[in-house]
Amino acid sequence: MLDLTALAELLAQPKKIVITTHHKPDGDAMGSSLGLYNYLVQLGHHARVIAPTDYPDFLAWLPGNEEVIIYTENTEASAVLIAEADIIFCLDFNSLSRINQMGELVGASSAYKVMIDHHLEPQDFDDYRYWNINACATAQLVYTFIANELGHREYINKDVATCLYTGILTDSGSFRLPNTTSDVHRIVAELIDCGAVNWRIHELIYNSASENRLRFLGHCLANCLEILPEYNTAIIAVNKADLEKFDVNTGDTEGVVNYALSIASIKLGAFIVERKDMVKLSLRSKEEFPANEICKKYFNGGGHRNAAGGQSGESFEATVEKFKSILPEYKKLLIQ
Ligand code: 5GP
Ligand code: MN
């Protein structure tokens, strides 16, 4: 185990550092990873971000993106970096299963492992943990880790600030979710002072979709939305043929589930999608409803109370039916 002083001492000399994050990285995963990357390179470290899989194009403009290695496309180079690293930062995940095959390599590496994360129930694979489930984003924790714990506020330059702003923006649902506290707003104000151009980042993230993506969304809402009023639940279920028809790419499905929750009476929204190798579920809920409990108990997943995900090895149709069959168990909570 490491304490903060020992970690700060390690970071005082140039080190070989790998930063990694969960598979199918989102805005917070890439924003927090590249925010930390842009900080560490200023200190003279040899740092690389390794993403377990590809990620949406709307994140490709992030400063430092050109240096990111995608594990599935560069397995050998990634394995060497992981094996030779002095420190591995694990950002926005807390179980090695969330980084797929990379989990074994990270587990086997003799590097110090530093977890910075805000998900429930962390597993013990780390040597140092900076973890807080009340944080709205891992990027928020990266900010306080650099500025408060390491006392390096002056290293939050425009690139670091831009990446961290992106993580907080996306994981807080554009400053909308309950964990968007006044502290979050104060940090975001700091990030703008450090050079993050807030309106431009919103443009790049939210107004950069393809025509296909908008037509796909239209299709989801017009043809794939099912409301179950007796359970205050809305399901958007999309099969493989539709994904192909609309040429849906990584990231194009992001946010679709939120439309299910936009109906006033709906407490639980589900987006169920038939991917190549599995059926993936994204659940969103309002207030106290524990979406993560359903994912953990029935779909080999987890997440936060109001935003969780999981998967199923059963067929698409069977997964939709399984999801519906679970709802009676939660009826009391859903109709309160
Ligand atoms: P999304 O629905 O956007 O894919 O994921 C929402 C949240 O659910 C993520 O931030 C993550 O915490 C969690 N999540 C999604 N998929 C999985 C999964 O397969 N396993 C676990 N443990 N958590 C997941
Ligand atoms: Mn996150």
Residues 188 and 219 in one domain: no
Cα of 94 from ligand 2 centre, angstroms: 11
Q: Whose CA is nearest to atom 3 of ligand 1?
A: 282
Residues 80 and 155 in one domain: yes
Range of weakest confidence among 97-101, 251-255, 330-334: 251-255
Place 336 in a pLDDT band, splitting at 50, 70 and 90.
confident
Residues 144 and 202 in one domain: yes
Q: pLDDT at position 251, please?
A: 84
Cα of 171 from ligand 2 centre, angstroms: 6
**ipTM score for this prediction:** 0.96
Average pLDDT over residues 22-32: 97
CATH label of the domain that carries residue 121:
3.90.1640.10
Query: Which residue, 206, 221, 240, sits at the end of a domain?
Result: 206
Query: Domain range spanning residue 141?
Result: 4-206
Residues 241 and 178 in one domain: no
pLDDT digits (tens, 9 = 90+) for 288-331: 999 999 999 999 999 989 999 999 999 999 999 999 999 999 99
Alpha helices in 224-286 (DSSP H): 240-245, 256-261
Cα of 304 from ligand 2 centre, angstroms: 10
Q: pLDDT at position 276, please?
A: 87
Query: How many structural domains compose the chain?
Result: 2
Q: Whose CA is nearest to atom 20 of ligand 1?
A: 301
CATH label of the domain that carries residue 242:
3.10.310.30
Residues 171 and 26 in one domain: yes
In this prediction, what percent of the chain has a pLDDT beyond 70?
100
Structure tokens at 258: 């939120």
Alpha carbon 311 to its chain's center: 16
| Closest atom, ligand 1, to C-alpha of 281 | 2
Alpha helices in 85-234 (DSSP H): 102-108, 138-144, 158-171, 182-193, 198-206, 211-223
| pLDDT beyond 90 at 88 | yes
Residues 99 and 218 in one domain: no
Query: Which residue, 158, 191, 206, sits at the end of a domain?
Result: 206
Q: How far apart are CA 195 and CA 162, in angstroms?
A: 7
Q: Tell me the average pLDDT of the chain.
A: 97
- For residue 196, the one-letter residue type is A
Residues 186 and 240 in one domain: no
Q: What is the residue-wise DSSP string for 148-179?
A: IIS--GGG--HHHHHHHHHHHHHHTTTTTSTT
Q: pLDDT at position 262, please?
A: 94
Q: pLDDT at position 195, please?
A: 98
Q: pLDDT at position 48, please?
A: 98
Strands 279-285 and 302-303: unpaired
- CB of 221 closer than 8 Å to CB of 263: no
Place 193 in a pLDDT band, splitting at 50, 70 and 90.
very high
Q: pLDDT at position 158, please?
A: 98
Q: How far apart are CA 4 and CA 102, in angstroms?
A: 26
Q: Whose CA is nearest to atom 8 of ligand 1?
A: 308
Buried residues in 88-110 as b, exposed as e (16+ CB within 10 A): bbbbbbbbbebbeebbebbeebe
Q: Whose CA is nearest to atom 23 of ligand 1?
A: 302
User: At residue 57, what are phi and psi to the nearest 5 degrees?
Assistant: -60, -30
Residues 198 and 85 in one domain: yes
Cα of 306 from ligand 2 centre, angstroms: 13
User: From the CA of 270, which ligand is nearest?
Assistant: 1
Residues 163 and 247 in one domain: no
pLDDT digits (tens, 9 = 90+) for 70-83: 999 999 999 999 99
Neighbours of ion ligand 2 (CB under 5 A): 28, 92, 138, 171
pLDDT digits (tens, 9 = 90+) for 123-160: 999 999 999 999 999 999 999 999 999 999 999 999 99
Residues 24 and 129 in one domain: yes
Q: Which of 295, 305, 323 has most ligand 1 atoms within 8 Å of its beta carbon, as the pocket-test mutant?
A: 295
List, chain by chain if needed, residues with CB within 6 Å of any ligand 1 atom. 119, 282, 301-304, 307-311
Element containing residue 34 per DSSP (H, E) = helix 27-40
Within 13 A of 1's CA, how many CA atoms are on the CB side? Answer: 5
Q: pLDDT at position 116, please?
A: 98
Average pLDDT over residues 190-211: 96
Place 169 in a pLDDT band, splitting at 50, 70 and 90.
very high
Place 250 in a pLDDT band, splitting at 50, 70 and 90.
confident
Residues 177 and 243 in one domain: no
Query: Which residue, 206, 232, 259, sits at the end of a domain?
Result: 206
| pLDDT beyond 90 at 249 | no
Residues 290 and 232 in one domain: yes
Structure tokens at 130: 């900076």
CB contact set of 123 (below 8 Å; sequence gap of 6+): 94, 95, 96
Q: Whose CA is nearest to atom 11 of ligand 1?
A: 303
Q: Whose CA is nearest to atom 2 of ligand 1?
A: 282
Q: Which of 136, 138, 275, 304 has most ligand 1 atoms within 8 Å of its beta carbon, as the pocket-test mutant?
A: 304
Cα of 18 from ligand 2 centre, angstroms: 19
Count CB atoms within 10 A of the CB of residue 227. 14
Q: How far apart are CA 301 and CA 307, in angstroms?
A: 11
